[in-house]
Structure 1
Amino acid sequence: MTIVQSVKSFVNKEGFDWDKPDMTLQFFHPQLEMFFAVNGIFFNNRESKIRFIWPVLCVLLSLVASGLEIMFIWHGIAIKDYGFATECFCYFFILGAVVIVYFSMLTNREKIFLLADNLNKDFLYICNLGAHYRKTFLQGQLLIWKLCWAWLSFAFFTMILYVSSTLIALLYQSTLATQDEHMVRPVIFPIWLPADDPHRSPNYEIFLVMQIILIFILFCSFCFYVCILFHLLLHYYNLMDMIIIAFGELFDGLDESVATLPTEDPRRKAVQTELNRRMGQIARWHHSVFEAVETTSSVYGPALVYQTMFSSIIICLIAFQVAEQLSEGKFDYLFGILGVGACIQLWIPCYIGSLLRNKGFSIGDCCFYCGWDSTPLGRLLRRDFVIFIQRSQEPLAIKFTALPHLQLETFSSIMSSAYSYFNMLRQYN
C-alpha cells in the first residue's frame, strides 16, 4: 500500500507548496521541459548540437523500420496472408508518425519557445492576482497534471504489455516447451526475410532488440507529443476561466455616480482608467488565447493532419485484425489495446477542440451578461463590449492547411469512415 499511496500523493501533488509566491511553469510542471528535451528542444542550452542526436537516431531507425514494413506488406500480399499484411500495414502508418512529430517539433522550435515563455508569464501573473484567480487557475493546472500522467500511464502500460508478452513467451519456450511443440521464437511485430530465416540467430536477436527500441521511440515521440499538445490547449482553456472571473468583477468597487459627471472630471477619469485597465486585461487574455491556439496549430499542424488523415485507416486495420482473430477463436488483446489507444489519441484533440469552441462562445455570453445593464458604468464600456462580443463570435478552432476543424464532429466522421472501411474489408475477405 505504501507504493500506491506514494503514487497517489505524487499525482495529487500532496505536500506541494501551493502558496509559493513566484509560481512558475517549471515548478508546477517539471515534466514539460523533459518532454520537449526528448523531442530535441532544449531550454537551457538552446543551440546545443547534442539535441539533434536522439531525434536523428529515432528518425533513421523509424525510416529503416518503415522500409522493412513495406517489404513485409509486399510479402504478405504476395502469399495472400492478409492478416500478416494488415498488421504490417498498420505498424507502417504508426512508425510514420515518429518522423512527422520530430519534423514538426524541430522546424518550429522558436514558436515552441514562445509558447513556453507565454505559459510561464501566465503562471507568474495570475498567481499574483486575487486568491480566487490563483485557486481556479491552479485547480485547472492540477487537472492537466493528472490527465498527463493518466495518458502516459496508459501508453506505458501498452508498451510494457507488448514487450512483456513477447519476453514471457520466449521464457516459456526456453524453459518449459518441448521439442514436439514446434514453436518458433516469438517477436513483438511480424517479420520476414527473403531467402533467410528471421528466427535464427543472430537475426532473431537483432530484430527483437530493434523492435523493443522502436516501441520506446514511439513512447518518447508520439505519446509525449499527444501529452504536450493537450497540455498547451488545456492551459488556454483554463485561461478563459480567468476571463470569466474578470467579467464577474468588472464593475466591483467602482463609484457608479461618476457616470453622470462630465467627461473631464478627475473622478470620472480615474474610474474610466480603471475600467479600461480591467477591460484591457480581458482583451489581452482573449487575444492571447486565439494567438496561442493558432501558434499551437501551426507547430503541430503536420502531425495533426497525419493523425486525422490516417487514423481511420489504422483503426479500420486494427478492428479487421481483431475480427479475423475472433473468427478463428482467438482474441488478439495486444491489438485490442492498441485500437483503444488509436481511438483515444484521436479523440483527445477533437474533444479539446470542442471544449475550446464552446468556451470561446460562452465568453461572449459572459460579456453580455456581466451586469453592464444594471449599472450606469456600463455606458463607459459600450464600444468595448460591442467589439469584444463581435470578436468572440469567431470560432476558436484548431486549424491548419488540409486539416478540418478538430471537433467531436470530426472524430465522429473519422470513426464512421473507419467503420465503412472495416465493412468493405470484411466483405472482400
Structure 2
Amino acid sequence: MQTERRSDISINLSTFFLKNIGLWIAEDSVEKRWMKLMLVFTTWNSMFASVIILRDLYFTLLYKGDILYVVTNLLTVVMGLLKICIILTHKNEFLNLIIYMQQNFWNVDYDFCEREVLNNCKRTCVFFVSCVTSIGICAMLSYVITPILENIGKNQSERIFLFNVWINLPLYLSPYYEILFVIEVISMYYVAVCYFCFDNIFCILVVHLAGQFRILRYRFTKLCNLEHETSEVTLTKHAYEFYAKLKMYIRHHQLLINYCKRLETVYTMIIFGQVLVFSVLICLFAYQGLLAAAPIARRTIFIFLLIGSMALLFMFTYGCDGVIEHSDEVALGAYSALWTTMPMNKSGRMLRNDLILVIERSRRVCCLTANGFFPISLETYTTILSTAMSYFTLLRNRLENADD
C-alpha cells in the first residue's frame, strides 16, 4: 500500500502543498516544530497579502482606478485567507480525517472488484487534482511574468509590482524593488496554495468516501452468496454466519455515515463561502480575461483563473454528488442480497429485519451541505454557472451603456 501511495500523483501533490503550508501529519517532534513554523509563515504571508490588497482597494477607490481588477484580486486573496482560518479552527478534525482515510480506506485488504473501485477513485482524484494544481501553477506564473514583461524598457521609477504597494518610499529603486518583488511573489504563492490545496484534499476525501459506499453496496450484494450450495441444511448452517457478516457491514455503514458528518463539520463553511463567492468570481474572471482593456499578459492570468475556478467548482460538486448517489445505492445492494433463499429461522428473520433497516437508512442519503442550507451536487454547479453568466451579462451591458 505504501508503494501505491508513492505512485499516486494526487496524494503526492496534496501532501507536498499541505506540508508547504504546515498542515500535515508530523511523524516526530522535529517535523512537528517545522510544521508549526511553516504554518506561522503561511498565516503571516496570507495576512500580509490581505493588507496589501486592502490598501490597494482603498487608494484605487480614492484615485478612481481599475476597481474591478482590484476587487477580483481582493476576493481571491480573501478566499484563500478564509480557508486557512477555517481549517485552523478544525485542525485536529482535519488531520484525523486524513489519518482515518489512510488507515481504513487504503490500508485494507480488498478483493478484485473492490480493488477496481479503489483504483477508479484513484484515477478520478489524479485527474481532478492534477488539472486544478496545473492551472493554479500557470496562474501563479502568469502573475509573476506579467510585471516582468511590462517593466521591459521602462525606467526604475516606472516599474510595477505584482500588486500596488502605495507607500511613499523609494521602493521602485534597486535593491528595494527586487526585495519587495520577491516578498510579494512569496505571499502570492502561499495565498494561491491555500486557495486550492484544501479543495484538492477535499476531493480525495469525498471521492474515496463515495468509493467506500460503492464497496459497501457490492458487499451487501454478495452477502448471502453460497455459489452452488442451496440445500436447506446448508442454508440453515450458514444463516448465522451471514447475519454476523451483516452486522459487520452495518457497523461499516455507520462509520461511513459518521465520517461524512465529520467531513461536513470541517468543510461546510468553506463550501458555503465558495458557493456564495464563485458566481461573482467567475463573472469577474471572465470579464477581466475576455473583455477588459488590459495587456495580454494580464488577461492570461484571468483566463487561467477562470478555467481553474470552473474546474475547482466542478471538482468539489462532482465529489459531493458522488457521495449522494452512492450512499443512496447502498439500499439497492441490501435489497439485492439473496435474502429470499435464507430460511425462516431466528437468524434468517433477524437478517431480513436488519436489511430493511439498512434500506430505510440508506434512503436518507449522506450529503455535504453549504452550512446546512442546501446539499451540494452537480445541480449546484449548473446553478452557479447560470448565475455567473447572468452577472456577466449585466456587467457587460452596464459597462457598454456607461461607455455610450
Say whether residues 1:130 and 2:111 are aligned partners. yes
Partner SS state of residue 332, structure 1:
helix
1:290 CA displacement: 1.8
Name which of 264, 276, 280 aligns with 2:247. Answer: 280
CA shift in 2, pair 1:212/1:330, >3 Å: closer
Q: Is the 8 A contact 1:23 1:123 kept in 2?
A: no
Say whether residues 1:231 and 2:212 are aligned partners. no
Partner of residue 140, structure 1: 121
Q: Is the 8 A contact 1:350 1:410 kept in 2?
A: yes
Partner SS state of residue 399, structure 1:
coil
Give runs of aligned pairs for residues 312-327 of structure 1, distance below 5 A: 312-325=279-292
Size of the aligned set, in residue pairs, is: 391
Name which of 389, 394, 405 aligns with 2:359. Answer: 389
Residues 267-321 of structure 1 deviation map (CA, whole Å, 9 limit, x = unaligned): 7775233212322232233222222222112112332222122222222222232
> Relative contact order (C-alpha < 8 Å, sep 6+): which is higher?
2
Amino acid corresponding to residue 317 of structure 2 in structure 1: C
Residues 36-79 of structure 1 deviation map (CA, whole Å, 9 limit, x = unaligned): 43343333137934322222222222222222222222222233
Partner of residue 4, structure 1: none
Name which of 15, 18, 24 aligns with 1:41. Answer: 24
Q: Percent identity?
A: 18
Question: How far apart in 1 are the matches of 2:355 and 2:371?
Answer: 32
Partner of residue 374, structure 2: 404
Partner of residue 402, structure 2: none
1:400 CA displacement: 5.2
Name which of 25, 41, 45 aligns with 1:57. Answer: 41
Say whether residues 1:119 and 2:101 are aligned partners. yes
Name which of 140, 143, 157 aligns with 1:159. Answer: 140
Give runs of aligned pairs for residues 174-213 of structure 1, distance below 5 A: 177=153, 184-189=158-163, 191-193=164-166, 195=168, 199-201=172-174, 204-213=177-186
Cα RMSD, aligned residues only:
3.3
Amino acid corresponding to residue 405 of structure 1 in structure 2: P
Q: Is the 8 A contact 1:272 1:380 kept in 2?
A: no
Partner of residue 390, structure 2: 420
Partner of residue 351, structure 1: 318
1:124 CA displacement: 5.9
Amino acid corresponding to residue 335 of structure 2 in structure 1: F
Question: How far apart in 2 are the matches of 1:278 and 1:397?
Answer: 26
Question: How far apart in 2 are the matches of 1:99 and 1:213?
Answer: 15
1:139 CA displacement: 4.0
Unmatched runs of 5 consecutive residues or more in structure 2: 400-404
Q: Which moved more, 1:269-278 or 1:320-329?
A: 320-329
Say whether residues 1:295 and 2:275 are aligned partners. no
Name which of 246, 250, 271 aligns with 1:304. Answer: 271
Say whether residues 1:92 and 2:74 are aligned partners. yes
Partner SS state of residue 105, structure 1:
helix
CA shift in 2, pair 1:401/1:381, >3 Å: same
Name which of 49, 60, 68 aligns with 1:76. Answer: 60
Unmatched runs of 5 consecutive residues or more in structure 1: 1-19, 262-266
Q: TM-score, normalised by structure 2?
A: 0.83
